[in-house]
Copies of this chain bind each other. A is one copy, B any other.
Amino acid sequence: MKLLRVDTLEEARGKLKGVFAGRAPETELTGCADALGRILAEDVVSGEAVPSFYRSGVDGYAVRSADTAGASESIPAFLEMIGEISVGTAAGRAIGSGQCMYVPTGGMVPEGADAVVMVEYCEPFDADHVAVYEAVPFGSSVVVPGEDVKKGQLLLARGSAVSPAGLGALAAAGITEVSVYKPWRVSILSTGDELVAPGGCPGPGQVRDVNSAGLAASAANAGFQVIRTALLADDEPLLEAAVREAAEDSDLVLVSGGSSQGKKDVTCEVLDRVSGGGVFTHGLALKPGKPTILGFDSGRGALLMGLPGHPVAALTVFRLLAFWLWRELTGQREEWSVRARMSMNLASAPGKLTCVPVRLYRGADGYEAEPVLGKSGLITTMSQADGYVMAEMNREGLKRGEWVEIHRFL
């Protein structure tokens, strides 16, 4: 049994950033129809102005604003009506002093006009004239070219996820494809002589494999592409062959299992051999999540992660390291957290950062976070939680009524 120093979460993250320095994820072009939720690999700049013409924001009469000066309900201005504009067509002609044209919402404002008077403040007077009962300032109810999008304007920034509104902005500017990060290809190897597939019936001493399903779903929510899941018996050559095969075509190889010390040692040795001595983290000062092993196969460019066998620990470490690293490398902004008050005192493990699943309720004063109690390895504590709070390693715990930040599980 080797005694190796465990890393704090911060140390492990620092090492991950170090080995991935200069190794941004690959990028690809994708059509906007398939871009929803993808992470932009480049800033997107508009090549044109939107709208490209002076556009009316209301149903009304396009006028020279100076012609309405002094107009009021009692003393209207009378303007010559010289035509009507349809949406989607050129205005066709310009207006001169003392003239106006009818323009519907979204229609082109004709040359010569600098404002639109809403139809509610106008009245046809005779066949050729309109009475205008309001003085409008220059530019009133006119959307100017580039008001929504200027030519050369940053539409969407690198590192942002493509949203429905973002797709709208791209559509407005006529951009039909964008450069996005290729999802990491992930292999999930779940190990353990005691495991049977979820559809199977466990015999004496056996349990069903929880990690393949949980990690595959977490990887999907992270935006990764799961290319392989496998359930392996505890057999060192078998594990080594599987990790070697996975490292060939994966960006991330997850090996879960090995909660006993002997298995942890085997996983560590296999990952170190496959990566040519690339293991750099032999445990985390994190609860749950201590038996975590990190290695980088720099030749194949594959991150190898030995995850705890306990499902909650495996999902926690996946979220706090793999998903965190992906967000870092793709330049994503900080995720929002929800502020809540602790509903009770909570002791935490001294010297370890502790991840506590909580359920949120509306309290008198914002949200209340109630810890989901139960041993940390129990998947039900996590599946019933709305999120988690991190209790710092240098504190004794969290106090009832204290404001904390709740993060989402994946």
Task: Identify which of A69-77, A126-134, A141-149, A267-275 touches chain B.
Answer: A141-149
Contacts of A155 in B (CB 8 A): 380, 383
Q: Are B169 and A379 in contact (CB under 8 A)?
A: yes
A362 to B405, CA, bound (A): 13
A86 to B194, CA, bound (A): 9
Q: Are A171 and B198 in contact (CB under 8 A)?
A: yes
Q: Are B383 and A217 in contact (CB under 8 A)?
A: no
Q: Which residues in window 226-240 of A have CB below 8 A to B?
A: 234
Q: Are A164 and B207 in contact (CB under 8 A)?
A: no
Q: Are B164 and A198 in contact (CB under 8 A)?
A: no
Contacts of A199 in B (CB 8 A): 174, 176
Contacts of A211 in B (CB 8 A): 168
Which among B87, B143, B167, B206 is the interface contact of A217 at CB below 8 angstroms?
B167
A327 interface hit (Cβ, 8 Å): no
A16 interface hit (Cβ, 8 Å): no
Contacts of A171 in B (CB 8 A): 198, 208-210, 212-214
Q: Which residues in window 135-165 of A have CB below 8 A to B?
A: 143, 147-149, 153, 155-156, 163-165
Contacts of A260 in B (CB 8 A): 59, 87, 104-106
A206 to B172, CA, bound (A): 11
Task: Identify which of A245-253, A279-287, A297-305, A333-341 touches chain B.
Answer: A333-341
A375 interface hit (Cβ, 8 Å): yes
Q: Are A336 and B386 in contact (CB under 8 A)?
A: yes
A193 to B106, CA, bound (A): 10
Query: Taking the nearest CB of chain B, how far is it from the CB of A108, in angstroms?
Result: 4
A360 interface hit (Cβ, 8 Å): yes
Q: Which residues in window 285-314 of A have CB below 8 A to B?
A: 309, 311-312
Interface size on A (CB < 8 Å)? Answer: 100
A214 to B166, CA, bound (A): 8
A187 interface hit (Cβ, 8 Å): no
Query: Taking the nearest CB of chain B, how far is it from the CB of A186, in angstroms?
Result: 13
Contacts of A36 in B (CB 8 A): 217, 220-221
Given A360-B336, A383-B166, do A205 and B53 touch, yes or no (CB 8 Å)? Answer: yes
A367 to B212, CA, bound (A): 37
Query: Taking the nearest CB of chain B, how far is it from the CB of A53, in angstroms?
Result: 6
Closest 8 CB pairs of A and B: A88-B194, A168-B214, A164-B217, A90-B204, A88-B193, A171-B198, A104-B260, A165-B382
Residues of A within 8 A of B (CB): 32-33, 36, 50-53, 55, 57, 59, 85-91, 104-108, 119, 143, 147-149, 153, 155-156, 163-176, 192-195, 198-215, 217-218, 220-221, 234, 259-263, 309, 311-312, 315, 334, 336-339, 360, 362, 366-367, 375, 377-380, 382-383, 385-386, 409-410
